[in-house]
Structure 1
Amino acid sequence: MASEPDPEEPEAAPRRAGPTDITDPLIRHEARKAFVWLGMAALFALAVMLSQSLLVIFGGVVFGALIDGGARMLARVLPVGRGWRVAVVLIASIAFVLWLGKFAGSQIAQQAAELPATIESQYHRGLAWLQRHGMDVRVRDVRSIAQEAMGGIGQVTAMLGGLFGGLTTLFLILVLGIYFAMEPRLYRRGVAWMLPVDRRDHFQGTVQVMGRGLRRLLFGRVIGMTVEGFFTWAMLQFFGVPMAALLGLITGLLAFLPNIGAPISGAIMVVVGFSVSGEMGLYTILVYLLVHLIDGYLIVPYIARKTVDLPPALVLAAQLIMGVLFGLLGLALADPLVAMIKIWLEREAARNGGDPGEDIEKLENA
């Protein structure tokens, strides 16, 4: 039975347009487009403001991919759950660091204390050699240039300036990496859930390709670091070069930075060699050439075939930009970031049904 209207209740007022209602369909369409552009600009500004934090998260992703690669390798010989394999990788890494600190720490610390004095003495010797050969180079001028350069480097390498500090940033990267490595599918599905339904499968496929490429890239880097560091230490120790263990460690660590790490480690090695004698200096140059010939003609091509082949100039440009913006952390993560962007662009080109590289190659060969 229908209820009768209450005579005391006022009749519903007719619906009127509010201040945010737009009746003209053309204006409403253009307003929506404007809101989309404003939203994109706001997201870009937010990404710039949060870029340091986003870089820490990406560092956690890179570290998680490194742990995930080790866990996947253990799966071939160790039939246990994923959590146990991740724990084995972490325990093995901690044990290696403790072993390095216990058995080689004192020797490396002693050599590290001697290294600045050796470099400074070679600096004065080189300056005196230039003056004897008619080059009017003053110590005061060189020191002022060095101080300005070091001041600029100090500004450039301020890692995540004032956000957390170096140790806290490293701790966050380690914790995030462990979480990502424990349950990568959970985070992949969580991000895919926020996308439109028709984009989720493509996103998950792209993330899987990125993960495989990142794992192989990092695995190749670890191999390169190990080979270069051990070979440098063995060759220098064989000839009796001072600080062989420290130079091997520096060479191995800087091998993670392609294009930039090799010249730095090589320059330090050569300076230490010439501090003893010219013969030893020439020998260190030979060691440097051998190490990086092996790296350039064996390790790097192997990594490029198995992962993402990145042009060296592109990697160097990314390292310079990321180093200026984010310091040492940005410098270390520039190469993996460029590789992931390249994979994403290739996947998007394939999804759109064409390969823009084919048209460019045809034009170049024409």
Structure 2
Amino acid sequence: MTLREVFKSWVEHYFSDEEAVILLVLLVLGFAVVILFGRMLAPFLTALVIAFLLQGGVNALTRRGVPHLLAVTLVFLGFIGVLLALAFILMPLIWNQLVGLVQETPRIVASGQRWLDDVQERYPNLVTPDQVQEWIAVAGRELTQFGQRALTMSLASLGNVLALIIYLVLVPILVFFLLKDREQLVEFTLSLLPQQRSLMTRIWQEMDTQIANYVRGKFVEIIIVGTVSFFTFAFFGLPYAALLAVLVGFSVLVPYIGAAVATLPVAAVAGFHFGMSEQFLYVLIAYGVIQALDGNVLVPILFSEAVNLHPVSIIVAVLFFGGVWGFWGIFFAIPLATLLKALVYAWPRGIKQHQAEEARAAESADH
């Protein structure tokens, strides 16, 4: 079989159905719009994600007999309350701790230098003075670059403030109308699709539960892990507890890699604050217990309906989509990988099922 015949057979297998071609065009257009206009549409995409998260609360209230508009209003007011609490309580606390950490950086560097000198004296064959000086020089360059980036961010603060104001005004408005007019928006979207959409329906049915379970479950996981980490760090008297807790909470977005990355700042702050003491060991043990409970108890409970993906697939998805779309790419890496998996499994079966249905319909018409 020639290469041309192989390619022709592949095209006939996957694109012999009109719906498959339309689905491919829609997927390409969707990815192109996000890549090219993602920054411009960021408020809408953010509102779409938040509305998706809040829709579960609206559904729960309507199932209990609450009118739809009242349910939307109650859930939206709860969302605004959480947003105000974050803006006026959590964010100032995190900002103050971040400023304190930057101001204390020279002392931390000096403490690290003393620790390296002590290690070099104890193990002269393992660590040489030249290596110590090289590490200190590297740390100095990194701190200098960090200061330059901070200065650049401060110079561009006006644009950042304007963007924040736009988000604070547009996103809540969009969220409210996405929740209020959900049925009309869904009907309008479906009206743009072809009448025969068995393949799209199959893929959506396979994806709907997984996406809802993952997005809402990941949101709950971030809140639980971050809150438990904050109270744990505060109990041990660890400085910058809120800042580290936020870092640990968001680290669950990146499976396997996030936990390892978050360990470094936690261990560094604990080491500089407590030294190599029992208290330092207790902090690391408590942090390890949090990670173990998250991976072995919380994740199985929250993601019981998630599609199983191979760890290699998850890591590749995080690297690729995170590189393309940044934070949101990391957040949606697993749902997007699940979408690709659903496409691979549903596409040929959907086409064959549609063809079988047409054949049965033709046979019925003949009889």
Query: What residue is the counterpart of 1:227 in the other structure?
Result: 224
Aligned to 1:49: 36
Partner of 1:342: 341
Q: Are the aligned partners of 2:47 and 2:174 in contact in 1 as well (CA < 8 Å)?
A: yes
1:58 deviation in Å?
4.7
Question: 2:187, 2:63 → 1: CA distance?
Answer: 26
Which fold has the larger relative contact order, with Cα–Cα distance below 8 Å and residues 6 or more apart in sequence? 2
Compute the displacement of 1:329 (Å).
Answer: 3.5
Partner of residue 97, structure 1? 83
Size of the alignment, in residue pairs?
Answer: 310
Q: CA deviation at 1:297?
A: 0.7
Report the counterpart of residue 238 of structure 2 in structure 1: 241
Moved more, 201-210 or 268-277: 201-210
CA–CA distance in structure 1, aligned partners of residues 132 and 329 of structure 2: 39
Give 1:171 deviation, angstroms: 6.0
CA distance in 2, matches of 1:103, 1:67: 22
State the partner residue of 1:255. 252
Which of 79, 83, 100 does residue 69 from structure 2 map onto?
83
Structure 2 residue ranges without an equivalent (≥5): 1-20, 121-127, 354-367
| CA distance 1:98–1:83, change in 2 (3 Å) | same
Contact 1:251/1:262 (<8 A) preserved: yes
Please, what is the CA RMSD of the aligned residues? Answer: 4.0
Give the unaligned 5+ runs of structure 1: 1-35, 355-366
Using the TM superposition, name which of 42-51 and 320-329 deviates more: 42-51
Q: 1:320 to 1:265 in 2, by over 3 A?
A: same
**Residue 327 (structure 2) pairs with residue 333 (structure 1):** no
Match of 1:137 in 2: 133
CA contact (8 A) 2:236 2:283 kept: no
Q: Which residue of 1 aligns with 2:294?
A: 295
| 8 A contact 1:188–1:207 mirrored in 2 | no
Distance 1:290 1:74 in 2: 36
Question: Quick one: percent identity of the two aligned structures?
Answer: 22
Match of 2:358 in 1: none
Residues 1:328 and 1:169: Cα distance change in structure 2 (over 3 Å): farther
Contact kept, 8 Å, 1:119 with 1:271, in 2: the verdict is no
Bigger radius of gyration among the two: 1
Q: C-alpha separation between the residues in 2 aligned to 1:237 and 1:45?
A: 43
Cα deviation for residue 272 of structure 1 reads 1.9
Counterpart of 1:275 in structure 2 is: 272
Offset of residue 296 of structure 1: 0.8
Question: Would you say the 8 A contact 1:64–1:179 is kept in 2?
Answer: no
1:1-366 superposed matches below 5 A = 47=33, 49-50=36-37, 52=39, 58-77=45-64, 79-102=65-88, 107-118=93-104, 121-132=107-118, 133=120, 134=128, 135-138=131-134, 139-144=136-141, 165=163, 168=166, 175-199=173-197, 201-204=198-201, 206-277=203-274, 278=276, 279-353=278-352
Between Structure 1 and Structure 2, which shows a larger proportion of helix residues?
A: 2
The DSSP-based 3-state class of the residue aligned with 1:241 is coil
Distance 1:121-1:327 versus aligned 2 partners, 3 A rule: farther
The residue aligned with 2:14 is: none
Deviations 1:77-135 (A, max 9, x none): 4x222232222122112213334555556554433322234455334433443355222
Name the counterpart of 1:362.
none
